[in-house]
Amino acid sequence: MTDAATLVRAARKSRGLTQQRLAERTRIDQARVSRSERGRDAEFSTIARLLAGAGYRLYAAPTRRDDAATVAAEIGGRLRAGDKEGALRALLQLNDNLVAERGLVRGVLGVAEPESTRDRAWDAAIAGLVAWRLEEEGLPAPEWVNSSGRFLAEPRGLDIDPADPVPPLAEVPEPFAARGVLVWRDTFVSV
């Protein structure tokens, strides 16, 4: 479940808006936009107004599972802390969240564009996972999964354990392979 701060920040950035520009569009001062993006002003009316200013509407979905934007923020934090295993656990939890839902609710978990984790391979992996699991359900992929920042120029793994062998392409889910992320398909089999 995306928190309000992540949702507002993702909506603003997906439209290429600065905080100042969003403030002008919504007639909310820039300091309040900043506070909202830090989770310090989470009034429903403010959040709804900021989302509308970025061209979005707020909808509720019948799930308590975290979406791609929330998980990407967690992955980014774990990577900055040097915890690649924790980042992988978060990615696997996103997989489980997506697989557990059906239909439109699965789509809702992938619709908000995540902020960058600051690691292109992980950004591509998140996009590949969302594309893969939405495709399984016959759902269209959101635009963000196909943006240029979600593809690697040279294929590589997530570099979690240097001793891990690189999987052959036949063992990599197609949406990951298309984005240049080499991960074993069986990594995403729920236990």
Nearest to 130 by CA among 117, 113, 116, 115: 113
Residue 1's pLDDT is 42
Most confident listed range (21-25, 43-47, 89-93): 89-93
Distance CA 125, CA 111 (A): 16
Give pLDDT tens digits for 100-121. Answer: 999 989 999 998 889 999 999 9
For 39-48, b/e burial (b = at least 16 CB within 10 A) is eebeeeebbe
The average pLDDT across 82-106 equals: 96
What's the one-letter identity of residue 12? Answer: R
CA-to-CA dists, residue 118 to 16, 75, 78, 129, angstroms:
17, 10, 11, 17
115-160 per-position pLDDT tens digit:
999 999 999 999 999 999 999 999 999 999 999 999 999 999 999 9
Domains delineated in the chain? 4-53 (1.10.260.40), 68-188 (no CATH)
Instruction: Yes or no: say if 72 and 8 are a contact pair by the CB < 8 Å rule.
Output: no
Cα separation values, 125 from 77, 94, 129, Å: 16, 11, 6
- pTM as predicted: 0.77
